[in-house]
A = this chain, B = another copy of it.
Amino acid sequence: MKNRICELFGIDYPIIQGGMVWCSGWRLASSVSRAGGLGLLGAGSMHPDNLRHHIISCREALTENDVTLPFGVNVPLLYPQIDEIMKIIIEERVPIVFTSAGSPKKWTSLLKDHGIKVAHVVSSSAFALKCQEAGVDAVVAEGFEAGGHNGREETTTFCLIPAVREAITIPLIAAGGVATKAQYNAALALGAEGVQLGTRFALCKESSAHENFKMRCRGLKEGETKLLLKKLAPTRLADNMFSAAVIEAENRGANAEEMDELLGKGRAKAGIFLGDLNEGELEIGQIATLVRKEESAAEIISELIS
């Protein structure tokens, strides 16, 4: 299974745990890296000080006899305190950064100047090409079926990966709907060299998500997640009272301002981290339908490489 992704990140298997808000702290990321994949901290839901704490704890958990296994941080580039986040990442010598939701041009060269490997998450082949031109080391192409924030083109993983493969020559990681061994193989057949799993890791034991959230999302029925809030930023959510209110508002043609008011603040934290299944945003991918059991990160990796 060794390939360019493994070489790039110094990992055993080309399996990446997506850096997800409210799910991927140091416990999850270090468990994935310990099992031979690449664990990512999700900076999107961390205050800068908290991120520093997670980086230090993750490194500690991954260091033995002066050798530290690789790990990384996912940084949504629209994060308000982005400068501070990047400063911490450089100071704490994080070896790998995945950026998303923004232009890769601004930060890639600075990060690379500090010896950091950079991957960027995209939802189109045009943007993948821009990433390659900006000098990123790898691209994550994420399809419509992915949980949480999502591309406007609505291109699915099955259509996106071959298109991105044609567009770029640098290493390509498939994301969006990937959870099982069969899908891992399918992603490689489509032209990817590695996979990034969000949903399956979000629902595993080491995820910091609330138990309510995990139990609600495991084994969702098909059609029980929907891409909503398209007038703001398209976001895939599991059905609940809040999403029903969003659908009602969208159906009657509510504008962006109204939707923003309805959304308010802190709903992802409420849903994912505090377990408010009624009023929270339940960000999760379509493939939650096939993620049914409680399992550890190591069990997931071991099934994928079996």
User: Does A168 lie at the interface of the complex (its beta carbon under 8 Å from any beta carbon of B)?
Assistant: no
A188 to chain B, nearest CB (A): 8
Knowing A125-B222, A126-B222, A190-B183 touch, does A177 contact B159 (C-beta < 8 A)? yes
Minimum CB distance partner of A174 in chain B: B158
A177 and B223 CA atoms in complex are apart in Å by 19
Structural contact, A290 and B163, CB atoms closer than 8 A: yes
> Given the complex, which residues of B lie within 8 Å of A125, measured CB to CB?
222
CA distance A254 to B250 in the complex (A): 11
A286's contact among B159, B252, B289, by CB below 8 Å, is which? B159
User: Contact check: which of B124, B189, B222 meets A182 at CB < 8 Å?
Assistant: B189
Contacts of A182 in B (CB 8 A): 162, 165, 189-191
How far does the Cβ of A241 sit from chain B's closest Cβ, in whole Å? 20
Residue A110 CB within 8 A of the other chain: no
- Between A159, A162, A182, the greatest number of chain B beta carbons within 10 A of the residue's beta carbon is seen for A159
The answer on a CB contact under 8 Å between B143 and A162 is no
Which residues of A126-165 are within 8 A (CB) of B?
Answer: 126, 143-145, 152-160, 162-163, 165
A186 within 8 A of B: yes
* Separation of A188 and B177 alpha carbons in the complex (Å): 16
Task: Give the contacting residue for A156; candidates B145, B191, B253; CB below 8 A.
Answer: B145
Q: A186-B190, A290-B166 are in contact. Are A222 and B124 (CB under 8 A)?
A: yes
- A251 in the interface (beta carbon within 8 A): yes
Query: Is the Cβ of A223 less than 8 Å from the Cβ of B152?
Result: yes
Query: A: which residues have CB within 8 A of B?
Result: 124-126, 143-145, 152-160, 162-163, 165-166, 176-178, 180, 182-183, 185-191, 221-223, 226-227, 231, 250-254, 286-287, 289-290
| Interchain residue pairs with CB less than 8 A apart (5) | A156-B286, A159-B222, A159-B289, A182-B190, A189-B189
